[in-house]
Amino acid sequence: MFKRFMEGLVFGGGFGISFITIWYVAAYLITPIFISDQFTTEIKSDISQEKIISESKQIQNNATPFHELEPEELVKQSSVIALAKYKQAPDGKYIAIITEFLKKEPGTKIYYEVGDEYKHSSYYPEKQKHYGNSLVLFFVGSPAQMRLSMSYTGERIGGLSDLPVKLLRQQCKKDNA
């Protein structure tokens, strides 16, 4: 009888130790994972709410991204508009050289002059790609920062709904007046 009691006591002690070990693992290792997942979900929902609020404010302000503006609005919002031509260098690179400023608002600081290379638009050509032979650059602010550039061939700018360069010059003159 005493032997049976001792076996039960040992079995109960082993069961108790197993229960405490499982409780420890659950309390200190598994529970933080569930809490951090819940916390992350709450943060994500807060971020998504902020994103929705900012997007609705953008819609309310009717703020169209610069590259989606109509040509007339591009001219109005630009502080400097420049034309450039591509010239081929001896190493095969096409260098964008600024040839003319169509618009330059008074007091606007720009770090380029006619004849300077606009290095951000110079390139080494890839086979079977057509890049155009000229470039129109739209700058905003002072000091002027480039916001949009479009390459074109001939006298029409395809990225501006085939707007003739002559008409862009006229719009720039009208906007400067």
Helices (H), the chain: 2-25, 31-61, 71-77, 165-176
Q: Which range of residues forms the domain containing residue 52?
A: 1-63
> Do 23 and 72 share a domain, yes or no?
no
Domain-ending residue, one of 9, 31, 63: 63
Closest CA to 140 of 81, 78, 82, 87: 78
> Do 53 and 82 share a domain, yes or no?
no
> Do 13 and 80 share a domain, yes or no?
no
> Do 21 and 45 share a domain, yes or no?
yes
Total domains, the chain: 2
> Do 97 and 54 share a domain, yes or no?
no
Round to whole Å and give the CA distance between 127 and 107: 43
> Do 97 and 51 share a domain, yes or no?
no
Domain-ending residue, one of 13, 36, 63: 63
Domain-ending residue, one of 14, 46, 63: 63
Per-residue pLDDT of the chain (177 residues), as tens digits, is 777 877 877 777 777 788 787 777 777 776 666 665 555 555 555 555 555 444 444 444 457 788 888 888 888 889 999 999 999 999 988 999 999 999 999 999 999 999 999 998 888 888 767 778 899 999 999 899 999 999 888 888 888 888 888 988 888 888 776
Give the domain CATH number at 102.
2.40.50
